[in-house]
Amino acid sequence: MRLHQNQIWKKDEYYLCIVQLERLSVTYKEMEDLASRDGKRQTVTKKQFCRLLKGAELMMDPPKNENSGYNFPPEA
């Protein structure tokens, strides 16, 4: 499982949105309604967040940037 910023996960009756993703920690927002986007932010370790996601469903994945990562231009 790959975590990315702005991913939205559905766990039971609430949604989890990754707000900030760092090397060892995750800041996420727990919301009951996606339309209002009201909720509380929490910061946990990646390990704790992955345990929290157990049984959750990925609702929305942010679009992939074609220029990110190790994509080198083709040689001429």
Query: What tens digit of pLDDT does each residue of 43-66 get?
Result: 999 999 999 999 999 997 776 665
The whole domain housing 53 covers: 8-59
Look at residue 31 and tell me whether its pLDDT is greater than 70.
Answer: yes
Provide the percentage of residues in the chain whose pLDDT is more than 70.
79
User: How many structural domains comprise the chain?
Assistant: 1
71 is a domain residue: no
Q: How far lies 16's CA from each of 20, 29, 47, 54, in Å?
A: 12, 6, 15, 12
Residue 10 near residue 61 (C-beta atoms within 8 A): no
Mean pLDDT of the chain: 85
Question: What is the value of pTM for the model shown?
Answer: 0.76
